[in-house]
Amino acid sequence: MNKSILIQNYHPQGTEALIRDFKAIGFKVFSPDSDWGRIKYFAESTGLGGEIISFEDYMKTEPGFVLIGCKAQEDDLKAIARQHGDTMILNIAQQNHVYEPNISNILICPDVGLWRSYPDPIQHRLLYFPRPVIADVPAKDIVRSFEDRTIASFISMPTFWKRGLPAFEAFRAQWQGNCYMFGHQATDGLLTHEQCNARMATSFFTAHFKDEEAYGLSCLESMMLGTPVVSTHEFMRDKTLGEYFLRPENSIVTDTIEQAIAALEALTLDEYRQLSDNARTTVRDLTSNEKTVDLLNRAVEAEMRSL
């Protein structure tokens, strides 16, 4: 069996992170050069780290693995894997999504709730937190961020979140400083990934009020850049962010919006600096190779031995 894997872009930063991780364990990663006339949920993969390949050339390679990146890709990539003789690996990209049963022995899942409840008894069920891909942006200036006190949210399609949007609007109405909402269909516009990271680095906090969240990549990017997250327990309960990443020593998560505002206003510069340092440390620890790619490597090696 060939140690190769086909990965189609399902979310640029998420895809790039998994391509990086598979390459780190010795895989050759292929990505389609087009929709191949059969991939309906298609996005360009150029620049994400995989070798761009045509359908004809891919069919000439020896069978390896195919990553089913998200539910929308399932049917088309299953068909390609079966035609080529590939073994499938499942990846969870959205909350509450499950795949056809008994098609894979490996599940990559950052969603703690779905990881616990996934109905298929998959042999290698990995609670997997890929390290965020961070753009090359200027380092955070702690003092400037603290004094400027700008808060930003990075949630697309905010009107879809029936509890999250009113919570953010209530937060923004009470916050005395600048408060922005960036994202697709958001009030302050859509930013590129680099622009998002630059905004995150300069912000005082990243506000996150979202009804459902499989992982929380924007929050983790913010934390890696040294900007803590503010939210309420309503949006963090039983979520990966709430159970693993957001802690009193690295973020502000309270019962009410009013409590969150009060906690933000009471922060000293030294306390803010400690939150910032702890935010970086937490994400780096939970996304370390020992807790991600090493687990992936053991699962893949076991699967290859069994075939």
Q: State residue 214's pLDDT score.
A: 84
CB atoms within 10 A of CB 227: 27
What global pTM score does this model have? 0.95
Cα–Cα distance for residue pair 184/83, rounded to 1 Å: 36
Which pLDDT tens digits describe the chain residue by residue (307 residues)?
Answer: 789 999 999 999 999 999 999 999 999 999 999 999 999 999 999 999 999 999 999 999 999 999 999 999 999 999 999 999 999 999 998 888 999 999 999 999 999 999 999 999 999 999 999 999 999 999 999 999 999 999 999 999 988 899 999 999 999 999 999 999 999 999 999 999 999 999 999 999 999 999 988 899 999 999 999 999 999 999 999 999 999 999 999 999 999 999 999 999 999 999 999 999 999 999 999 999 999 999 999 999 999 999 8
Name the token pair of 72.
């929308």
Q: What is the CATH number of domain 4-129+288-306?
A: 3.40.50
Name the token pair of 22.
């598979």
Q: Are 291 and 126 in contact (CB under 8 A)?
A: no
Cα–Cα distance for residue pair 66/122, rounded to 1 Å: 16
Residue range(s) of every CATH 3.40.50.2000 domain in the chain: 142-286
In DSSP notation, 165-193 reads HHHHHHHHHH-SS-EEEESTT-TT----H
Q: Are 227 and 256 in contact (CB under 8 A)?
A: no
Cα–Cα distance for residue pair 109/116, rounded to 1 Å: 10
Residues with Cβ within 8 Å of residue 194, at least 6 apart in sequence: 135, 136, 137
96 conformational bin, left if phi > 0, alpha if psi -120 to 50, beta if neither: left
Q: Are 179 and 151 in contact (CB under 8 A)?
A: yes
Q: Are 299 and 126 in contact (CB under 8 A)?
A: yes
Cα–Cα distance for residue pair 303/10, rounded to 1 Å: 24
Q: CATH says 142-286 is which class?
A: alpha beta
